Amino acid sequence: MSYWPEPRKTGMEYRRLGRSGLYVSAISLGGWMTIGGYAADDASFACMKRAYDLGVNFFDNAENYTAGESELVMGRAIKKFGWKRSDLVISTSNHPFSFSFSLYCPG
């Protein structure tokens, strides 16, 4: 397994995604139930900020999470914190052609 030396020194492990050369955090933050949904924007922002500060660079989203509001809130958080898009990996899906994937995380 190939590991990437994380430049922000958070202690997060990163895994290479296939042969793409892309490295994603071993843990991702998904927006399904919280971001844009049951949590207010400020709480969603705080959750995303904490994940990012701990080294998460992989955020999962979908058009159908809270009728698209999850994607909008996630975008506002990225703008609010001034994160560079090139430092983030954001997965999304589009209904009805939804897809999902998971990363292998050894126990």
Positions marked catalytic: 65
Of 51, 47, 52, 73, residue with least CA distance to 61: 73
Query: How far, in whole angstroms, is CA 73 from its chain's centroid?
Result: 13
Strands of the sheet containing 28-30, edge to edge, are 28-30, 58-60, 89-91
